[in-house]
Structure 1
Amino acid sequence: MPTPPNPSAPAASPSSDPPAGAADGVAVTFPGQGSQVAGFGRAWRDHPAWAVVEQAEEASGRALAPLLLDPDADLSRTEDAQLAVLASSLVVWEAARAYIGTPVGFAGHSLGQITALVAAGAVDPADGLALATTRAAVTQAAADAAPGGLVALLGATPEQARDTVAHVDEAWIANDNAPGQIVIGGTETGLAAATAAARGAGVRKVRPLAVGGAFHTPLMAPAAEAFGTAVEAVTFAPLTAPVVTNHDARAHFARSGWAERLSTHLVRPVRWRETVDALVELGATRLVELGPGTTLTALAKRCRADVQPLSAATPEDVEALLPALWGVGR
């Protein structure tokens, strides 16, 4: 087993000596839009990892601190929500990376894929913020041009979900998050027909989601084209570990091909259940969610009984990773 970090060292200081190697069987996941929390950054303001926010602000020319520090910040706008989630997750990654070392793989849910690419060293943080800004703008424009929404089919099997949308125009599977948690997206008319079909097929609970569009469906085609052009302008560096993509649930280590992957992702379902399986195939026995919320941790519990789900959102959470990952006390 690799030598663990010094338990007496500051838990998440960027200047801490990293472990000699990496914690065994760890994969890192990052949340997407919907996990944003007003005031999330207040716990991190005096922490060394806050430098990530300051450096990102300087490089991007965008004020990020107010999105993270103000407990009354309005994070309902897509752009603000996505930047808040991205910046928050990168702060936690900066704090936790010394304890984790190089994971067996990364993955991010929807927007979290950009965070995963930054953490894997493929994308500069400033480029990641620019991509998130563009992504938010083009998806919102597509949603305004073709209004729609998302509906969760709770307790549905993949077969029930497929049957629900198979004979309905303008409704598609948008997320296969975990057993019993599948999301469909479409136009208002399409979702009304699909909802009726789902109830007729025995789906026990159908719940509309508070989102501004039919994300991860063909209605996002204009956004995919525009975003692909933006990604092509970014220079990708070699990845330190593979990133499992949402739309195909495959591990990718190459620095090329990301314009196609990230744009295709906007019009294809998020295959998160299979993404978790792919991380396990890479050797993951522990899935560590970094950033606001514990949505992915809850999904991991539903997806696989043979992995240990962990999460960290605060400095105290990060410190708790040391004994959890390395089996040493503090």
Structure 2
Amino acid sequence: MTITRLALMFSGQGAQRPGMGLPWTRSPGWGVVAEVSEVAGRDVGTLLLDADAATLRRTDNAQLAVLTLALVALTELRHQHPLATFPGGCAGHGLGEYSALVAAGILDAGDAVRLVTVRGAAMRAACERAEGATAAVTGLDATRVQRVVDDEHARGGQVWVAHFDAPRQAVVAGRTADLERCARALERAGAVKVTPLVADGAFHTPLMAEAVEPVAAALAAARFMPGHTAVVSGSDARTYRGGPHWAELLRRQLTMPVRWADTLRTLTTELACDRLLEVGPGRTLTGLAESVVPRVPRTAFSDPGRPLAPAGT
């Protein structure tokens, strides 16, 4: 693999699927699972190999499973391609930001596991207290999506834009009844499709406010190192080096939207990354990159047995 200026990308919650650990069990990176299990105090291997879709849907299970497989894949990537240890930039979609910080040398893997264990439990509790839902919006630009959401707010509705993922792709989330009403308004405004997503709640919105205090307490106890690579924060699409400011950035992402389209632009312009590599489960971020920065080659490292060939140029 020829590495010029590589950006590593990590998926968030939603990338999980039953049996997703199976391709990795014979790879050197699989040893990470035992380490994660010891830190988390539970058998994470079972989540990656035996858990069904309903089990993996539960927020605390999903987050730990996705983080673990990302760490497995990152370890294997470095084993196969040592130069990937020092990428030109890193970014993660929501939960994936914790994996990005590990890849950048800013957060120790053990701390990442401890933080995500707390985060998953706190967000699950917030979902149980504040019933919510999520839907993907395609075929409508971000400005018009935001305008429809603002109109719903003006009527007293609790719904927000949770992700700005691509020029004509966003995710909205909020109280179920308000979201259903907003979905109809989005379709009237010209959305090609508004698709309900399988999610426990309204992530990256103010409905996650109850998760902030326990996550903030855990973040205050974590050590954020100087690191060796810049990370683009998904909450503002700005570049940050290592340091304690990441505690506030990670706290803030709980209730703020993910600005993924802008994050990709920052990776490829400000950080001048000319190749994107999605590390871990799924290929969602690879697909979004095709819409946002179509001229930049992109690859997914989601199977240790497949060579890293560009998914597009």
TM-score, structure 1 as length reference: 0.87
Q: Mapping of 1:119-198 within 5 angstroms?
A: 119-168=103-152, 169-198=157-186
Report whether the alignment pairs 1:94 with 2:50.
Answer: no
State the shift of 1:55 in Å.
2.2
Identity %: 40
Q: Secondary structure at the match of 1:173?
A: strand
State the shift of 1:264 in Å.
0.7
Q: Among residues 11, 21, 31, which one is paired with 1:51 in the alignment?
A: 31
CA distance in 2 between counterparts of 1:136 and 1:38 reads: 18
CA distance in 1 between counterparts of 2:26 and 2:191 reads: 48
In structure 1, give the amino acid aligned to 2:246. W
In structure 2, give the amino acid aligned to 1:284. C
In structure 2, give the amino acid aligned to 1:226. P
Larger Rg: 1
Q: Secondary structure at the match of 1:263?
A: helix
- CA 1:62–1:238: 2 relative to 1, 3 Å: farther
State the shift of 1:224 in Å.
2.0
CA distance in 1 between counterparts of 2:18 and 2:129 reads: 29
CA distance in 2 between counterparts of 1:224 and 1:60 reads: 20
2:217 counterpart residue number: 229
State the shift of 1:303 in Å.
0.6
CA distance in 1 between counterparts of 2:40 and 2:108 reads: 11
Q: Secondary structure at the match of 1:110?
A: coil
Q: Mapping of 1:78-117 within 5 angstroms?
A: 78-97=59-78, 98-117=82-101
Report whether the alignment pairs 1:42 with 2:30.
Answer: no
State the shift of 1:279 in Å.
0.4
The unaligned stretches of length 5 or more in structure 2 are none
2:202 counterpart residue number: 214
CA distance in 2 between counterparts of 1:135 and 1:206 reads: 28
Once the two structures are overlaid, the 10-residue window that deviates more, 85-94 or 49-58, is: 49-58
CA distance in 2 between counterparts of 1:154 and 1:215 reads: 19
1:10 counterpart residue number: none
Aligned 8 A contact 2:225 2:242 in 1: no
State the shift of 1:99 in Å.
4.5
State the shift of 1:23 in Å.
2.1
Q: Among residues 293, 303, 309, which one is paired with 1:314 in the alignment?
A: 303
1:300 counterpart residue number: 289
Aligned 8 A contact 2:146 2:161 in 1: yes
Render the CA deviation track for 1:201-246: whole Å, top value 9, x for unaligned: 1212111111111111111112123211211111112222011111
Q: Among residues 280, 297, 300, which one is paired with 1:291 in the alignment?
A: 280
Render the CA deviation track for 1:46-88: whole Å, top value 9, x for unaligned: 2211121122223443321111222757312211111111111
- CA 1:203–1:137: 2 relative to 1, 3 Å: same
CA distance in 2 between counterparts of 1:90 and 1:46 reads: 15
State the shift of 1:254 in Å.
3.0
2:251 counterpart residue number: 263
Aligned 8 A contact 1:229 1:259 in 2: no
In structure 2, give the amino acid aligned to 1:302. S
CA distance in 1 between counterparts of 2:243 and 2:119 reads: 20
Q: Secondary structure at the match of 1:315?
A: coil
Aligned 8 A contact 1:107 1:244 in 2: yes
Aligned 8 A contact 2:57 2:199 in 1: no
In structure 1, give the amino acid aligned to 2:229. A
CA distance in 2 between counterparts of 1:96 and 1:170 reads: 42
State the shift of 1:101 in Å.
3.5
CA distance in 2 between counterparts of 1:324 and 1:305 reads: 12
Q: Among residues 11, 17, 20, which one is paired with 1:31 in the alignment?
A: 11
Q: Secondary structure at the match of 1:183?
A: strand
CA distance in 1 between counterparts of 2:16 and 2:128 reads: 22
In structure 2, give the amino acid aligned to 1:75. L
CA distance in 2 between counterparts of 1:114 and 1:260 reads: 13
Aligned 8 A contact 1:249 1:274 in 2: yes
In structure 1, give the amino acid aligned to 2:36. A
